[in-house]
Structure 1
Amino acid sequence: MKKFLSVLTSVALAGGLMAGCAGESSSGTGGNGDGDVGRITFYSPETPDMTKELGQKFEELHGGTVDVQYAGTNVLVNRMMAEKDNPQGDVWYGGGGILPFEAAVDKGIIGAYVPDMAQDWDVVENGIKVKHQDGKYVGVEVFVLGFTYNTELVSEDEAPKTWDDLLDPKWKGKIQFSNPAASGTATLMVLSQMMQRGEDEGWEFFQKLADQANSIPDSGSGPTKAVAMGEAHIGIGFDFMAYEAKAKGETVDFIVPDKTPILVNPVSIVEGGPNPEGGKKLIDFLLSKEGQQILADWYHIPINPDVESKTPLTLESVKAHAVDLDIDWVNENYDRVRNEWKTKIK
């Protein structure tokens, strides 16, 4: 097994899932302020302030201008599809994990680029797919999908521990989850449940879950924010959303449910973008120690083992919860299931 796994077996998720730290950029013009990096258009659905901070740090280290364009995952995918004949973006980072990236491969909107530091990674490491087999994306962090709860409204003992627990009548009108038509976080939730339950039972589950909800916001972070404000007792989202809010003094905590998606959140070069060399340098930066430290400071689980996250989660504590994801099924059904949500769930 390659050096990645020798690190992985001894480093918890807080240490990440990568075999080495970042070095010099492997391609592109300039670096460390030398040369003309130019304008890099950066598409991301992740936390706007964090993404802006990543762009500012890149500019500080490498020059150029990073133009952050924020929108929900599916909105960005639709935008890249609309721009396919005249691409406007250079880099797409984040989308609630690998599923929207896998679905985008055959759409011709993302190109192939594997940074030097990821060349030795196996495609699948310790059961987690960390890069695309044809180099269409690489992971930059690890996400865990689960439940945020308001600790003033819900005790740890009574908080839901499984996905079926969400259907308990006591949560009627007290749950929020995001809209799969707009959010990659919610699309991951829907597809993972469909894979486990089958479609008939899956649609029945989500109709019941929708009946439990008091709101279904478009933003993947919306449910966690609602929990922090006391507008919901339970919100479905990623681990870092809860821990970031908790660090700010919000009365929230996080449950890793039984059998839930645990996967990398990737970055890709946009196919045919106006500044591919600048885009590659930005991807190199996201995997560098400087870029990874910003992610860690925002309570994301970094993929670089030289960077320590602030999250309390570890590989040992969550790996038993991981559910297998059928990537071939995702590629065949991603758009269909997402579109059927609009007609099946009222």
Structure 2
Amino acid sequence: MKKTLLILMALVLSVGLVACGSDSSSSDGSVGEVTLYSPETPDMTRELAEAFEEATGGKVNVQYAGTNILVNQMIAEMDNPQGDLWYGGGGILPFESAIKHGFIESYTPESVKDWEVYENGIKVRHEDWNWVGLEVFVLGLIYNTDLVDEADLPETWDDLLDSKWEKELQIPNPAASGTATLLVLSQLMEKGEEEGWKYFEKLVQQTNAMPDSGGAPANAVASGEASIGVGFDFMAYQMKDRGESVDFHIPKNTPILVNPVSIVKDGPNPEGAKKFVDFMLSKEGQQIKADWFHIPMHPEVEGKSPLTLEGLKDNAMELDIDWVVENYDRVRNEWREKFQ
């Protein structure tokens, strides 16, 4: 059964998140070293890590790579896990798929223990607490405002096939990036697999590159290497805030969903990992995300993102989570066979 994953700004008013307790504020150095796997913005992730280190006296080893690369690494390490927690991956889909592999485990943060699986019809955590949502992501188009007139922007994902975008487009590589995997899965669900794969055969011909990193197309747009790149909202707004000639456009019927964190099963420092999760859900941790234009879930943290309820509700699509869990790995493998 399809379940709507639309995450709207009203969520922060209904979740009832409170600041985490004293566990993440101890300064006796007992936290030890925590290894964090993440595909998210390296500078933001490092800022989170440094704030956590200052608050707890612990140390954080951040390992950055594309979502699917990290997933493959965690699968390969299952007999001897090296990471303690995994943050981010283009939304909940890779986390839902990862559960069947068995390399993440349940943790119920005290600050959100009253969360239902769905809040106002929105999935904000896994049924058994194998992941917890930290922020809201919107998949869309990052464009160069010097190269693209706002009136010419694609209104739908199909509009990217227009000849005027030939070799003007970049998407991340779905074999490596969770951002692009989300695009592929959503379009296959929307169009059906036969028509969906035909769509991507055409879309690939429109690209001038498919880098492994989910954030690389945004950088290409900022430099003028591409006119349009597929990415998440915060990528564009971070660059725009730095003075880059970029902005964000939301096509009709696009994925809008939470981005989670999970504990790695049998990782070397499970208690340190739990403290880091608590910190990222705290007001301090959420404020860092908000300052990087991520849409926060803490009710006392005001986001810097310009996105609003009215701007999102008409563009969100429904995603069949059960279909994703069943087909996530197969779709990635089929992409490799077709396009690499």
Match of 1:303 in 2: 297
Match runs of 1:35-114 below 5 Å? 36-114=30-108
Paired letter, 2:218: T
Q: Answer whether contact 1:103 1:330 (CA < 8 A) is retained.
A: yes
Match of 2:155 in 1: 161
Which SS does the other structure have where 1:282 is aligned? Answer: helix
Paired letter, 2:237: Y
Match of 2:16 in 1: 19
Which SS does the other structure have where 2:333 is aligned? Answer: helix
Percentage of matched positions with identical amino acids:
63
Shift of 1:12: 4.5
Shift of 1:219: 0.4
Aligned length: 334
Shift of 1:177: 0.3
Match of 1:4 in 2: none
Match runs of 1:102-251 below 5 Å? 102-251=96-245
Partner Cα separation in structure 2 for residue 155 and residue 116 of structure 1? 48
Q: 1:17 to 1:209 in 2, by over 3 A?
A: farther
Q: Answer whether contact 1:172 1:211 (CA < 8 A) is retained.
A: yes
Runs of 5+ consecutive residues of structure 1 not aligned to the other structure: 1-7
Shift of 1:63: 1.0
Which SS does the other structure have where 1:161 is aligned? Answer: coil
Match of 1:334 in 2: 328
Q: 1:29-75, CA deviations, whole angstroms, 9 ceiling, x for partnerless residues? A: x7331350111111101011111110000011111101111111011
Shift of 1:320: 2.1
Match of 1:290 in 2: 284
Shift of 1:25: 4.8
Q: Answer whether contact 2:286 2:298 (CA < 8 A) is retained.
A: yes
Normalising by structure 2, report the TM-score: 0.95
Q: Answer whether contact 1:16 1:302 (CA < 8 A) is retained.
A: no
Shift of 1:119: 1.5
**Poorly superposed stretches of 4+, deviation over 4 Å:** none
Partner Cα separation in structure 2 for residue 17 and residue 201 of structure 1? 39
Shift of 1:316: 2.6
Q: Answer whether contact 1:111 1:269 (CA < 8 A) is retained.
A: yes
Q: Answer whether contact 1:17 1:303 (CA < 8 A) is retained.
A: no
Paired letter, 2:18: C
Which SS does the other structure have where 2:187 is aligned? Answer: helix
Partner Cα separation in structure 2 for residue 275 and residue 168 of structure 1? 50
Match of 1:259 in 2: 253
Q: 1:25 to 1:135 in 2, by over 3 A?
A: farther
Runs of 5+ consecutive residues of structure 2 not aligned to the other structure: 1-6
Partner Cα separation in structure 2 for residue 127 and residue 112 of structure 1? 22
Which SS does the other structure have where 1:211 is aligned? Answer: helix
Shift of 1:345: 2.5
Match of 1:324 in 2: 318
Matched, 1:312 2:306: yes
Q: 1:113-147, CA deviations, whole angstroms, 9 ceiling, x for partnerless residues? A: 02122221121223321100011000000000000
Q: Answer whether contact 2:21 2:111 (CA < 8 A) is retained.
A: no
Q: 1:248 to 1:16 in 2, by over 3 A?
A: farther
Q: Answer whether contact 2:17 2:297 (CA < 8 A) is retained.
A: no
Partner Cα separation in structure 1 for residue 22 and residue 93 of structure 2? 27
CA RMSD of aligned residues (A): 1.5
Q: 1:25 to 1:76 in 2, by over 3 A?
A: farther
Paired letter, 2:301: V
Q: 1:275-327, CA deviations, whole angstroms, 9 ceiling, x for partnerless residues? A: 11110000000000110011111111111121111110012310221111111
